[in-house]
Chains A and B, each alone.
Chain A
Amino acid sequence: MNRERIERGALRGLHGFGLIFFLFLIAFPFYWMVVASLKPLMILAMDPLNLWLTPGELTVRAFQEVWLQFHFGSYFANSAYVSVLTVLLTVTLATLGAYTIARLRFRGRTFLSWSILGIYMFPPIVIAVPMYALYTNFGLRNDLHGLILIYLAQTLPVAIYMLYSYFKTLPPTLEEAGLIDGCSRLMVIRRITIPLSLPAIASVALYTFMIAWNEFLFAFLFLDSPAKFTLSRGIMQIADNVNVSQQLLMAAAVITTVPVIVLFLVFERYLVRGLTAGAVKA
């Protein structure tokens, strides 16, 4: 009984300490990012440990400068365009595709559902070299639509897999009722399956948005002209510029981070459910 009591006590201590440790570890870089974007570097460099937000010291000049002079307004618009279009295309195609694999019988079904997961294995950098060659050749390289196509191909397999696992949990009887009553398959999808799967679809949309918004490698390799930069690419651009201060860079980082975090906080519950739906068993 003694050992039991010791372990229990230790566990309680560990739990409290661990929670604080983890929360600090997660929050600190983001908090620091905000502080560094608001405090002039002169003040922060003198006393790096003073991370209080003292009203007199703060300035939003870095944000204004990044947004206007360094064109982050237009990068933001590009990122938004790419992400929203990717989400719309992925969600539409993935819903239809996942429904097909989950419900329709056709030749090649098992093969297809396995090959979806096989896609996981290919490293983006392996794809990047030939795509670079191909896109250069077709003039799609310095083009946001070329990026959208790549993001679409990268997110579709996972999106289909997530929706497929969700559709599997829906009772087919509802759809059969619809079919018997004379709905076509597409009507069944639109009127029965989609309304019932809104949480899963929301989670897929959020997942896709995050991938497209945060993507770095292809945007970095493929985009040349500043008019077409996404936010990630834009940050790399100003990071190479010696005249750009840490404060400016962190303001850009905050601008890039805020939309994803806000969307995540709004849709969080769906994402957690959607990502783990059926996936743990696999």
Chain B
Amino acid sequence: MADRKTPDNSKNSKDFTGESPRQRSAWNPFRRVSTLAQREQRLAYILLGPPSLFVLALILFPVLWNFWLAFHRVRLLDLRRFTWWELEATVNNFITVFMHYDLWPALSATLLYSTGGTLLAIVMGLGAAMMVHRRFRGSGIVRGAFLIPYIAPIVAVAFAWRFILDPRGVFMAGLLGAGILEQPINLLSQRPWAMISLVAFEGWRYFPFNFLFILARLQAIPEVFYEAAAVDGATPLQKFLYITLPQLKLVLATLFLLRFMWTFNKFDDVFLVTRGTAGTRVLTIKVYDFLIGEFNVGAGAAMALFLFAVLGLLLYVYFKWVMRRAEEE
């Protein structure tokens, strides 16, 4: 509260020195109009300069430079004594990438992983949001708890899940003990279980994100809609199908887009949970393999460019489709 009063204090002090802005404007009314706008503009550039510069230098510039690297023969060792104008221009990186034996399996694994992971995380998020939408005793605590998988360090939870899902771990012990399985399955390095486990992990880790946004939208649906439906004799299922879902359509579509993009670009989770084995070698893992495994920076950059291009294409198709849908409606 004390802070809100400060403008009044400063007003007093200005008045005391006899320099109130009103007086100043009386001296030169024309000049003041233009300088205020100019001053505002100049301040805007000063304040936005550093953040823009950082983002430009550390995100946009690398993305552009990636193009350059992809068209040159760059090995990891070349980077130590970097005289970039001496590097040889080449398209071999793209040949390496396109001829690589598991490029297309990697692409389909990426699509499977990002579609599956995104859908599961959204369905789980929707379920979680529906459960705590109406208040009950302890619902606040439950809402907080629902966010925890998302905020915990990825390395820690990935290792915990690896041990839990280990053939000698607690999950298999449970299934064997209950008589569901007779032989333990290696869930993380056996097809198709590795991909299924990975998608399940994505659902577990990222449903909180969807939960948060779906819940916020749920709370904004006017209660009268449900009241009107109740008057018409709608059952809970009908209310969900004909009121809740249409109301959530926009947020669900947005979440699908965002999460798909992010899952498509995800490296950490795959690298940590399945190590890219048993059909889970996604495109980002291949970038890493080129860069660290083969010390081939150029091919890594070309691979990253390929990843980026595929994502761009998918986004283009998606927006085309959304636009057409919007026009039809």
Contacts and interface: CB of A to CB of B under 8 A. Distances in A.
A265 B144 contact: yes
Interface in A239-282: 239, 246, 249-250, 252-254, 256-257, 260-261, 264-265, 268, 271-272, 275-276, 279-280, 282
25 contacts: A4-B233, A4-B235, A25-B204, A29-B149, A32-B163, A48-B170, A93-B51, A97-B52, A104-B40, A120-B258, A121-B311, A125-B267, A125-B287, A125-B307, A129-B291, A133-B69, A153-B54, A178-B10, A181-B8, A216-B272, A217-B267, A235-B155, A239-B159, A253-B160, A268-B147
B256 to A, nearest CB: 14
A26 B55 contact: no
A198 to B, nearest CB: 10
B301 A130 contact: yes
Interface in B233-281: 233, 235-237, 251, 254, 258, 261, 264-265, 267-268, 272
B309 to A, nearest CB: 11
B209 to A, nearest CB: 9
Contact of B7 (A94, A104, A105, A181): A181
Contacts of B251: 280
| Size class of the contact patch on chain B | 35 or more
A132 B80 CA distance: 11
B65 interface: yes
Contacts of B128: 22
Given A125-B304, A133-B297, A100 B37 contact: no
B196 interface: no
A153 B236 contact: no
Interface of A: 3-4, 7-8, 11, 15, 18-19, 22-23, 25-30, 32-33, 36, 45, 48-49, 51, 93-94, 96-97, 99-101, 104-107, 109, 112, 119-134, 136-137, 149-150, 152-154, 156-157, 160, 174, 177-178, 180-183, 185, 187, 191-192, 195, 210, 213-214, 216-217, 221, 231-232, 235-236, 239, 246, 249-250, 252-254, 256-257, 260-261, 264-265, 268, 271-272, 275-276, 279-280, 282
A276 B147 CA distance: 13
A94 B10 CA distance: 26
Contact of B59 (A127, A134, A221, A280): A127
B131 A19 contact: yes
Nearest to A107: B41
Contacts of A33: 156, 160
Contacts of B149: 26, 29
Contacts of A177: 7
B20 A105 contact: no
B181 interface: no
B160 A133 contact: no
B41 A106 contact: yes
Contacts of B148: 26, 30, 261, 264
A121 B261 contact: yes
Interface of B: 3-4, 6-8, 10-11, 14, 19-21, 37, 40-41, 43-45, 47-48, 50-52, 54-55, 57-59, 61-63, 65-66, 69, 74, 79-80, 82, 127-128, 131, 142-149, 151-157, 159-161, 163-164, 168-170, 173-174, 177, 204, 212-213, 216-217, 220, 233, 235-237, 251, 254, 258, 261, 264-265, 267-268, 272, 284, 287-288, 291-292, 297, 300-301, 304-305, 307-308, 311, 315
B62 A97 contact: no
Given A128-B287, A136-B79, A214-B153, 11 more contacts: A22-B146, A29-B160, A93-B51, A106-B40, A106-B45, A107-B41, A153-B55, A153-B58, A174-B4, A235-B159, A280-B213
A80 to B, nearest CB: 13
A97 B20 CA distance: 28
B21 A182 contact: yes
Given A18-B127, A120-B258, A149-B58, A236 B155 contact: yes
